[in-house]
Amino acid sequence: MNLRTLFATFVILVSLPPEVQGVEGEQTLRLHVSSTGDDGSVLISKGEDDGLATGDSILFRPRIVVVIDPEGADGMTPGDRVLLHPQEDTEYQGTVTEISKRTARVTMTMTSYVPAPGSRGIAVIPGDRVILEREDSSDDDWGYEDDPWSPGMPLLAQVKPVRPEERGMQISGRYYLSADLNLTTVRSQSDTFVRAGTDLRVENPLGKGGALRFDGEINFRSEEDRQERDEDDLDFRLDRLSYAIGGTRFSPQRWEIGRFLQYGMPEFGLLDGVEYVRRRENGDRFGASLGYLPEPDGNQKTGDDLAVSIFYEYVADDAEEFTFGAGFQKTFHDAKRDRDLLVTKLRYLPAEGWDFNGTVWVDFYTNSDRAKDSDVEITQAYLSSSRTWSSGRGIDIGYRRVRFPELLRREFTPITLRALAKNHYDRIWASFFSWATDRHRIHGEVGAFTDEDESGGDGEFGIETRDIFFKDSLTDVTIFGGKSPFETLLGGRASLGHSYDGGRWNLIYEIADHDWQHFSENRNDLLQHRLRGELDLYFESSLTLSFYGQGSFFDDDQLLSLGFFLQKSF
């Protein structure tokens, strides 16, 4: 590649919108979950045309971070690892099993968790990977003469980088519409839920290099039953309306004001206020925020809970293989002291070997708190360690703990003091996958849990096969079961899917036998059948359309669910 071609590639890259900008040696893509399937998979909005490659290691969160092996091919393949960080503190791992030009499907390792459509994220890919189709730049009439250059000078030494405030205003985002209808023979009940919304980003709207973000949706819900009880509810939900400036390679300081998910420590939640974050020369970050916390319900009432937060994140090296962060949040409910929360998190992601992710929430109490016996309590914890081998094997082990904190803030449905003091949930698990051949992958998971009422265990084992019936098909057969003092569960699930350039379809059948103990003798055994169909359609205009239909049958009762999800990116 000559100097002219190198310069042309650089000019194209620096002129791209911030959607594909990143630090030196990397490019950053924003992405989101387009649709989900209850087979433990999600469809993400980027694919081969965006520079994602098969065989790459992946880190996935609602901000989704995709870390890709520079030596990989141009697209994602089976064996890719995905780590999902929802808005809470948890992280989930999965495997990319299908890829097309504009999308990729990720199968979650823990099939009990499937992220909802619209979960957002970012993908970090090598800077030398082309992510857009471009014209051949080798024509004789290129029209640019090389700048003076001498041996020892950097190839791009004469090129001035384009600063954010020097770019024109650019608008990007998506809008979506979804609807779900549930019909059941139990009391002849029906439930309809419709969502319509948009996620909008305006780059450099004021000529200062900042970004304006808007994320809102209208929700409509209608419930009816044979007792003639009708309930209709129409709400507008505002998840984000904010303006952010800075935080680029030209400015180590970042400010954001409005309603937004906190950037420095997302675990502190949605904020109506202001946040300041600064990046030090060694890569460490620190910051603070001040504002009100909207209540986490459909109304999102604000103004009752004032929060003051600070955080610091240590970065060990330029590659950020090891990071450690800690933040403290103090809240006041109606001007009364409420929550003292410490959040710590650690991430270790070496190029090879075991990676580790851990997040711990610690609440501090005083004599005014009535339900808690101790002054300090771990209310949430998530610890996970995983490894993937080049031979096509992987393992993930983890632990999760959840307890109710004692709050004045209306964050949960009101519960008794006994429930506040005693209720808890602890779970450990280990999952694995291994490519037995180029076409066959085995996978499984075992786990154990305990709560305030019982303890038990669960497990599953499955075999996934490619091209068994026809080309580009994916078949999976899984058996699962669980045991606790109150229930014994045994079942199986089979699925058949097919991906093609214009979309994907999937069929799932599941049968499960529930045997309850210590309940009514009239109904202590239930055999449940479930049949589900899914269809995803991809269009050249960045439009995706997904349909699903599901029927559940048990005893004399039936449940029918239908829905669609329409999304347009721009």
Q: What is the mean pLDDT of residues 50-55?
A: 65
Name which of 398, 492, 491, 476 is nearest 443 in CA terms: 476
Q: What is the mean pLDDT of residues 50-58?
A: 60
Instruction: Give how many domains the chain has, as a whole number.
Output: 1
Asked if 192 and 222 touch (Cβ cutoff 8 Å), the reply is: yes
Name which of 515, 516, 517, 527 is nearest 557 in CA terms: 527
Please indicate, yes or no, if residue 43 is contained in any of the structural domains.
yes
Within the chain, what is the greatest distance between any pair of CA atoms? 89
pLDDT tens digits for range 71-102: 443 444 454 444 444 444 445 556 667 777 77
User: What is the Cβ-side half-sphere exposure of residue 525, based on CA atoms within 13 angstroms?
Assistant: 2
DSSP state at residue 165:
G
User: What is the Cβ-side half-sphere exposure of residue 94, based on CA atoms within 13 angstroms?
Assistant: 30
d(C-alpha 439, C-alpha 422), whole Å: 48
Q: Which two tokens stand for residue 4?
A: 């002219």
Q: Which residues contact 487 (CB under 8 A, 6 or more apart)?
A: 456, 514, 515, 516, 517
Please indicate, yes or no, if residue 112 is contained in any of the structural domains.
yes
Q: What is the mean pLDDT of residues 364-392?
A: 90
Interior angle at CA 455, CA 529 and CA 483, nearest 5? 35
Highest mean pLDDT: which of 88-92, 205-209, 391-395, 476-480? Answer: 476-480
Strands in 249-369 per DSSP E: 251-261, 270-279, 285-292, 305-315, 322-333, 336-348, 355-364
DSSP state at residue 521:
T
Q: Other CB atoms closer than 10 Å to residue 557's CB: what's the count?
A: 12
Decide which of 428 and 39 is more confident: 428
Please indicate, yes or no, if residue 247 is contained in any of the structural domains.
no
pLDDT level of residue 232 (50, 70, 90 thresholds): confident
d(C-alpha 388, C-alpha 349), whole Å: 12
β partners of residue 32: 120
pLDDT level of residue 370 (50, 70, 90 thresholds): confident
pLDDT level of residue 2 (50, 70, 90 thresholds): very low
Instruction: Domain of residue 56: give its range.
Output: 17-131
pLDDT level of residue 540 (50, 70, 90 thresholds): confident
What is the average pLDDT value for the chain, to the nearest integer? Answer: 81
- Whether the per-residue pLDDT at 558 is higher than 80: the answer is yes
Q: Specify the range with the lowest mean pLDDT, choosing from 108-112, 385-389, 439-443, 472-476.
A: 108-112
Please indicate, yes or no, if residue 478 is contained in any of the structural domains.
no
SS3 262: coil
Please indicate, yes or no, if residue 64 is contained in any of the structural domains.
yes
Q: What is the mean pLDDT of residues 337-356?
A: 94
Name which of 341, 213, 343 is nearest 266 in CA terms: 343
Q: Identify the sign of the CA torsion 144, 148, 151, 153.
A: negative
Please indicate, yes or no, if residue 46 is contained in any of the structural domains.
yes
Please indicate, yes or no, if residue 78 is contained in any of the structural domains.
yes
d(C-alpha 322, C-alpha 559), whole Å: 48
Report how far Cα 37 is from the mean position of its chain's Cα atoms: 14
d(C-alpha 99, C-alpha 538), whole Å: 13
> Residue written as tokens 């055994």?
525
User: Phi first, then psi: what are they for 233, rounded to 5°?
Assistant: -140, 125
Return the CATH number at 91. Answer: 2.40.37
Q: Other CB atoms closer than 10 Å to residue 128's CB: what's the count?
A: 12
- Whether the per-residue pLDDT at 12 is higher than 50: the answer is no
pLDDT tens digits for range 145-155: 445 555 665 55
Please indicate, yes or no, if residue 100 is contained in any of the structural domains.
yes
For the whole prediction, is pTM greater than 0.95?
A: no
pLDDT level of residue 413 (50, 70, 90 thresholds): confident
Decide which of 212 and 485 is more confident: 212
Burial call 243-275: b when 16+ CB within 10 Å, e when fewer: bbbbbbeebeebbbbbbbbbbbbbbbbbbbbeb
Q: Which residues contact 227 (CB under 8 A, 6 or more apart)?
A: 187
